[in-house]
Chains A and B, each alone.
Chain A
């Protein structure tokens, strides 16, 4: 089962930012340098977890916690 602490740790490691910045409430666009870095992060997580997200899945995702929920849902189904 996917754990949010592990998930958030992966984000911190990928973006090379302190782990404490990646809280569930953190807004994703505040964590990345530009939109392409966000695309890159989402692809990295999909490749890592072997999950596939669509634009529909991501359309209301703003925070780290909301992104985690999408991945957790995909990996459960």
Chain B
């Protein structure tokens, strides 16, 4: 099959795939530790979605004649070195909230690339609905956690991880600037953190 994928696209889609795999494995493991309840319920769907997304990216790369690349680190792996380890379930959800916003922004940015291959566009479309749901359930869970953890502690934690995300994003963009520029995806950074 002829390769219908630029080298940088193959890398970026593999980067997405690696991130989805990391998310699925992390939430899958975490789900085993959680007590039964709404968070366990929604997180089970969340990690099932992430695993499905990893498959969708793998399939998309393959349909375009490429090979999914084996990449060592996922984007979210860097949060821990910048912001420190999340200490409890609420902190994990705060981190997830920030990360899901980043994912949605990144996928939306990619969707707007001129002359985007229809296969990539269709894959982004399939994934985006799930990503919006991820943000929504995590947001609702954080609201429900307010009586236990306190509104201020939750807001401070979201802010801490949001600041970490800014740092990680800057670092990632600078490390891969050439690839991102080649794909026409240099993004204006948003100031919205809610």
- Cβ of A40 and Cβ of B33 under 8 Å apart? yes
Q: Which of B30, B80, B157 contacts A43 (CB 8 A)?
A: B30
CB-CB under 8 A from B91, the residues of chain A are 54-55
Chain B residues 48-106 with CB under 8 Å of chain A are 77, 80, 84-89, 91-92
Number of B residues whose C-beta is below 8 Å from A?
20
CA–CA, A46 and B30, complex, Å: 12
CA–CA, A54 and B34, complex, Å: 17
**Residue from B77, B87, B89, B92 whose CB has the most chain A CB atoms within 10 Å:** B87
- Cβ of B87 and Cβ of A54 under 8 Å apart? yes
Number of A residues whose C-beta is below 8 Å from B?
18
CA–CA, A25 and B91, complex, Å: 27
CA–CA, A40 and B43, complex, Å: 14
CA–CA, A55 and B157, complex, Å: 10
Q: Which of A36, A52, A59 contacts B88 (CB 8 A)?
A: A52
**Could you jot down 15 A-B contacts, CB within 8 Å?**
A36-B26, A39-B30, A39-B85, A39-B86, A40-B29, A43-B33, A43-B92, A47-B34, A47-B89, A54-B87, A54-B91, A55-B84, A55-B85, A57-B87, A58-B85
A38 contacts B by Cβ under 8 Å: yes
Q: Which of B29, B33, B80 contacts A35 (CB 8 A)?
A: B80
Q: Besides the contacts A35-B77, A36-B29, A57-B87, what 11 more A-B pairs have beta carbons closer than 8 Å?
A: A35-B80, A36-B26, A37-B29, A38-B85, A39-B80, A39-B86, A43-B89, A54-B87, A54-B88, A58-B87, A59-B84
